[in-house]
Amino acid sequence: MDINNIQMIGIEKDTPIEIREKVTFGNHIRDALKIFKGKGINEVVILSTCHRSEVYFYSGEVETQEAKEFFKKYFNIGKIVDPYIYSIKGNDVIEHIFRVACGLESMVVGEDQILVQVKDAIEIAQDEKTSGKILNKLFRDAVTLAKKARSETGINDLALSISYIAVKFIQEVFEDIKGKDAFVIGTGEMGQLAIKNLIAKDVNVYVTNRTHYRAVDLKNEIPEIEVVPYEEKYKRIAISDIVISATDAPHYTIEYHRFKEVYCNKKICMVDIALPRDIDPEISSIKGVSLYTLDDLKKTAEINKNKRIGLISIIERMIDDSIKEFNDWFRTLLIEPYIKEINTFAQNVCKTEFERVANKLKNASENDRKNIQISLKRVADKMCNVMIRHLKSDVLNDCNGEIVFDIMKEGDGHKKA
């Protein structure tokens, strides 16, 4: 077995979109897996996202250059892709998938979506029975590492999405926002992201839009929201804990004097994620009102971005440790036949010795016989475990990866494996 049999071919993530769109697997991953598996490849997993098309495979027969030709033939694409297609082997593949799963190769460092995509990739391959022991272990380790990296570094808490940061600001005001009433003005992309983030925090969300039918259409997509007529927005503001405005109006959608008329001196957090601004900045002078603008959110996003970048070196050290662990596991695969031989030998000895003892104990009860059998097995297992542990230690310390050991066999003398 050779670690360099683990290989990957793919398209550079910075490849122009007009090339990327020609080599995307889309909904045809399952068919592609079967085609690649039938080309002398033992195991294959395909990772296909909007930024990458990568084929991971394990084979002692197929080299990456041959796999590149499979790749080009599959997409019926010629030399136009040659400058952008690349291949790696062995530890380079292991490091690459670990970095990808951890989000270090993403446009947004540490982003979560790629982890989901890595999990989906191996699950589809397992479902289609195109992956096996090697790639199952590799991708499982990648997912485990990615979860650990995100958990231990807290990189997920460093939000970069403006809408998500808006909810973070609100949480800082109220600490616990579960069950709070939020009023979102605007049903565009930013407004919808804010709505989804609020709902995920168990907030009661009310929505309005100057064009009423858009709010109604949104309720069909997100049934958890309640639609408020635009002309009643100040009434709803007055009884809300949270107000987020995200429209493209050229003027203030929440004016100081109109707001002052309905404000009932309660604690309220307002977030303006519009440009030009939706909420009259003079409102921030009112006691009890916390007002955040796009500049506040962008500043936090930039700070978080720099903090995420600062965590890269920590995650890279975790990746180095995981690469070593995978290599140790891979090297122990070399001794699997010998481990099986040891266990088979032990089972045979147990069987022979049990039959010898049992024949001498004619008056022994069935329970006694069973206990003798169990005891013999326990002794054999303990001896096997010691031998296997030393065997694994030897192979991990053997730079050449060569294994030579003797197993005593009754009547056979020494057998060299």
Instruction: Show which residues are catalytic.
Output: 50
- Annotated binding-site residue? 369: no
| 187 known member of a binding site | yes
Q: What is the C-alpha separation between 99 and 102, in angstroms, rounded?
A: 5
- Asked if residue 15 belongs to a known ligand binding site, the reply is no
Contact 137, 145 (CB under 8 A): no
Q: Residue length, the chain?
A: 417
106 carries a ligand binding annotation: yes
350 is annotated as contributing to ligand binding: no
Residue 264 marked ligand-binding: no
Collapsed DSSP state (helix, strand, coil) of residue 209: coil
Strands laid side by side in the 226-227 sheet: 226-227, 204-208, 181-185, 242-245, 268-272, 289-292
Q: Is residue 414 part of an annotated ligand binding site?
A: no
Q: Is 310 annotated as a binding residue?
A: no
Cα-atom radius of gyration of the chain, to the nearest Å?
Answer: 31
113 marked among binding-site residues: yes
Identify the CA nearest to 192 among candidates 210, 215, 169: 215
Say whether 31 counts as a known binding-site residue.
no
Query: Is 128 marked as binding a ligand?
Result: no
CB atoms under 10 Å from CB of 216, counted, come to 13
| 168 touches 159 (CB < 8 A) | yes
Round to whole Å and give the CA distance between 15 and 24: 12
Tokens of 32: 């592609």
Q: Can you name the residues that pair with 8 across neighbouring β-strands? A: 56, 88
Q: Tell me the C-alpha distance between 165 and 42, whole Å.
A: 46
50 is in an annotated binding site: yes
Kindly give the pairing relationship between strand 53-58 and strand 43-48.
Answer: antiparallel
**Distance of alpha carbon 291 from alpha carbon 244, whole angstroms:** 10
Q: Is 111 annotated as a binding residue?
A: yes
**Which alpha helices (DSSP H) does 76-161 contain, by range?**
90-102, 113-127, 133-153
Annotated binding site for NADP(+): 186-191
Annotated binding site: 49-52, 106, 111-113, 117, 186-191
Annotated binding site for substrate: 49-52, 106, 111-113, 117
